Structure 1
Amino acid sequence: MRNTLTKGVTTNIRDYGRRDRDHCLALMLGNTPDFFAPCEVGDFEEFLDDLSHSYYVVEVAEAVVACGGWSVSSDGSASLCWGMVERSCHRKGIGSYLLRERLRLIREDDTASSVALMTSQHSRPFFERYGFAVVGVEEGGFAPGLDAVTMRLEI
């Protein structure tokens, strides 16, 4: 459990627990269809129900406002998975905080040499600000009008 100050907002990051499922699902639904395709909701539900990776929630005033995780593959690369921030909290530094914390934890784990992720064209500029480079784009890869952008960061 860590506390920090993000653009004047006190945040807390902690491990995901089953009690967070509905909150995380609400975060996704609030970001659909602009950032996630409706067809991804079922995949996210399955992910939460069979969680086998490091996954976290970010709280503000004890309310879950963001979630995201990561895993390490056998090839030594880490992958960020299912990161999202409550729509009303966009552009308040919470997504940056969540990303920085996940990258810090990956570096502390010391098993990965790079970090990969797949996002849409809408979130691409956010990740580029943190040094992620585009390695592939599949137009309409998530849904019509929602491209699948593969990005990578060497650590």
Structure 2
Amino acid sequence: MSQFTHLDSRGAAHMVDVGEKVVTHRTATAMSRVTMNPQTLAMIVEGRHHKGDVFAVARVAGIQAAKKCSDLIPLCHPLMLTKISVELTANTAESCVEIHATCKLDGKTGVEMEALTAASIAALTIYDMCKAVDKGMVISHTRLLTKTGGRSGDWQADE
């Protein structure tokens, strides 16, 4: 039997059957970072971007992305999320925007992919809105930070 839950004994991809799993409260928080020129970050923070409020648009994009995760990633289950938050913080010391996305639900499968998708799409939205002034932006540090609930229990990334 494969160690990968999305592969059957023959190695074929399939959606995992979660029908017999117990409903538990589950959360996941993921992050991403967009590094940019200091002038670009200042423009965002000071509200001088001609396209509007970059943080507001990125936040909404991240929330929408979490809700659409199962449409984007083929073997993800459609989930009834109870909470999605996307927080964006300007880090002037490192000239970047740090994104933290948290998803919650009471269900039979985890929300790690939804949190990762929210953080990723928020980062891509920042890039899209600012690419006209800073094509050299770098999206990085996209990773899961924490997850709770489920059979495997709680998990936290190393610092």
Range of TM-score over shorter length: 0.3 to 0.5
